[in-house]
Chain A
Amino acid sequence: MVEIETDILAKNDGFAAANRARLAALRTLALNLVSSPGSGKTTLLCRTVEALSGRMPVAVIEGDQQTSNDAERIRATGAPAIQVNTGKGCHLDAHMVGHALDHLGLQPGGVLFVENVGNLVCPAAFDLGEAAKVAILSVTEGEDKPLKYPDMFAAAKLVILNKVDLAPHCDVDLDLCEANARRVNPGVEVLRLSARTGAGMEAWLAWIAARLEAATAAAAE
């Protein structure tokens, strides 16, 4: 009998800790954006990058099974972006993100967005070294998604309800949706916005700025 007491994800968690140390040294706020496919993550990111650039350094790591479409969309906004194709994989892991960091040439004092593979299940378990997971849910997906995929909503610090401009057309109860998110994660913050119309974007940008300030203050200690 051999006692080993090893976490199955110990390897990933080791890489995540290394990423976190690297990001702290660069005073960079890293946000791991998770959602199902088609929630509007990339559109939200493009609008966010446009709004933040000029104010702080912004960079993006894009995860998808195939294609570099998303990284190209981000680069068109002027921000550096690296595409990671996971091939058969259903999530980004910390090792992939470490490799991407090697090539990204991050400027200190800014924000790194990691857009995870569109999947409401697997990315929940994989720490990438981020400061927070941000779960994005579009109003067309239905208000019960937090109950159907509780692991992801329990892992998130912030839930963004996106595409609120479509809410009147799709019989969705946004208050119920928020209540469902809080049922699996009582401490979670929730923001409602539309990346397309820009409604609610200011609150999201303020959330990022506050988080960045907190990250910088923690790094200075």
Chain B
Amino acid sequence: MHEMSLCEGILQVLEEQAVLQSFREVRRVRLEIGRFAGIEPEALRFGFDVVTKGSLAEGAALEIVELPGRAHCFDCGKTVELEDRLAPCPKCGGGRLSPTGGDEMRIKDLEVT
């Protein structure tokens, strides 16, 4: 969706952390992004390269760990993992699923110098 503004948010966190934890350069950023977070990883990569130009994270590698979508199935009562929001329940084939997770967008860790 608004991957560019999310990248600006990531850069802001990196700059704050650089002061707090006294590092000068970021070499690698690892993100955890859920399937239901509405984020397109390729657009995020593009935005990250653009936004970090001239910053402490210029040229840093961006690693994106994709987390599965999770939902509660009203038909079989199980909590299941889903590929996308419209997928049927993989256990019983039911279509009434309420998302319970998979909207994560988190900066997990950094490799810094």
| A binding-site residues for B, Cβ under 8 Å | 1-12, 89-91, 121-122, 124-125, 147, 150-151, 154, 182-187
Contacts and interface: CB of A to CB of B under 8 A. Distances in A.
Contacts, number: 87
Q: How large is the interface on B (under 10, 10 to 19, 20 to 34, 35 or more residues)?
A: 20 to 34
18 contacts: A3-B108, A5-B106, A5-B108, A6-B106, A7-B106, A8-B106, A9-B6, A9-B105, A89-B5, A90-B2, A125-B1, A125-B37, A125-B103, A151-B38, A183-B96, A184-B85, A184-B86, A186-B97
A1 B98 contact: no
Contacts of A11: 9, 12-13
Contact of B1 (A3, A8, A121, A187): A121
Interface in B61-113: 74, 85-86, 95-99, 103-112
A122 B2 contact: yes
Q: Do most interface residues of chain A lie in helix, strand or loop, or is the interface mixed?
A: mixed
A150 B82 CA distance: 14
Contacts of B99: 154
A9 B33 CA distance: 12
B109 A1 contact: yes
